[in-house]
Amino acid sequence: MNVEFINPFISSLLNVLSTMAQTDLTPGKPKIKKTEVAVGDVSGLIGMVGPQTKGSLSITFDGELAMTIMERMLGERPEKINEEVTDMVGEITNMVAGGAKNLLGDKGYEFDMATPVVVSGKDHTITHKCEGPKLIMPFTSDFGAAHIEVCFDKL
């Protein structure tokens, strides 16, 4: 998978969380993901289709990190993952994909985005509807982990 295509998603996530929630993440080492089981408690998934390729992005947060982000964005901390938290994760997913879309547009890649879907719960699954490998990128913070998964048909 082309790093030039992945980096905009990483930088967009770091920018969105830093700007919107005063939360810094530390990137880890990417690897290929073989299963559909999520590595966190709540995930946003968004499909992307363009003339060059189609693919999807998911962002998964540990529950503690998601609730900390919620508290920092809205001033209230939920006791557990609820509808407001899942709405926020969907909006973050949308903002990250939108930011990456702008960065990729500058490089000549165009795509349209679907509406994000959010799934939560222990061992929930994320199904990417594309043929290519699923790249997973871990991030750490003082409040838990986040993971980006990106999958595209061809580049």
Tokens of 18: 């830093």
Q: Which H/E stretch holds residue 73?
A: helix 63-74
How does pLDDT run across 75-131, given as a tens digit for each residue? 989 999 999 999 999 999 999 999 999 998 888 888 898 999 999 998 999 998 888
> Which stretches of 64-116 are assigned E, i.e. beta strand?
112-113
At 29, the amino acid letter reads K
Position 147 scores a pLDDT of 97
CA-closest candidate to residue 15, choices 92, 112, 114, 111: 92
Tokens of 66: 């998601």
CA distance 105 to 138: 25
**pTM (whole model) above 0.85:** yes
How does pLDDT run across 8-66, given as a tens digit for each residue? 999 999 999 999 999 999 999 999 999 999 999 999 999 999 887 788 999 999 999 99
